[in-house]
Amino acid sequence: MPYTTSRPLGEPVSPAALPAVMPVESSSDDNSQTPYKISWVSIGFFTVIHGLALLAPWFFSWSALGVAIFLHWLSGSVGICMGYHRMLTHRSFRVPKWLEYTIATMGALALQGGPTFWVAGHRQHHAFTEHTEKDPYSADKGFWWSHMEWLFHLKPEVFDRKIYAKYAPDLVNDPYYTFLDRYFLFLQVPLALLLYAAGGWSFVIYGIFVRAVLLWHCTWLINSANHIWGSRHFDTDDNSRNLWWVAILTYGEGWHNNHHAFPKMAQAGLAPGEIDMTWWLIKGLKQVGLATKVVMPPTKARLQ
Q: What is the 3-state secondary structure (H, E, C) of the chain?
A: CCCEECCCCCCCCCHHHCCCCCCCCCCCCCCCCCCCCECHHHHHHHHHHHHHHCCHHHHCCHHHHHHHHHHHHHHHHHHHHHHHHHHHHCCCCECCHHHHHHHHHHHHCCCCCCHHHHHHHHHHHHHCCCCCCCCCCCHHHCHHHHHCHHHHECCHHHHCHHHHHHHCHHHHCCHHHHHHHHHHHHHHHHHHHHHHHHHHHHHHHHHHHHHHHHHHHHHHHHHCHHHCCCECCCEECCCCCECHHHHHHCCCCCEHHHHHHCCCCCCCCCCCCCCCHHHHHHHHHHHCCCCECCCCCCHHHCCC
Give me the pLDDT at residue 299, please.
73
The string of pLDDT tens digits covering residues 64-90 is 999 999 999 999 999 999 999 999 999
Average pLDDT along the chain: 88
The string of pLDDT tens digits covering residues 179-233 is 999 999 999 999 999 999 999 999 999 999 999 999 999 999 999 999 999 999 9
pLDDT class of 303 with cuts at 50, 70, 90:
low
The string of pLDDT tens digits covering residues 243-299 is 999 999 999 999 999 999 999 999 999 998 999 999 999 999 999 999 999 999 887
The string of pLDDT tens digits covering residues 151-178 is 999 899 899 999 999 999 999 999 999 9
Q: Which amino acid appears at position 16 of this protein?
A: A
Of 31, 83, 5, 88, give the one whose Cα is nearest residue 260.
5
Q: How many C-beta atoms surround the C-beta of residue 303 within 10 A?
A: 13
Give me the pLDDT at residue 73, please.
98
The string of pLDDT tens digits covering residues 19-45 is 444 444 444 344 445 568 899 999 999
Give me the pLDDT at residue 297, please.
86
Give me the pLDDT at residue 34, please.
59
Distance (Å) of CA 151 to CA 36, 47, 109, 230: 11, 12, 18, 25
CA distance 224 to 145: 8
pTM for this predicted structure: 0.88
Give me the pLDDT at residue 129, please.
81
Query: Domain limits of the chain?
Result: 34-301
The string of pLDDT tens digits covering residues 97-121 is 999 999 999 999 999 999 999 999 9
Give me the pLDDT at residue 138, please.
87
pLDDT class of 300 with cuts at 50, 70, 90:
low
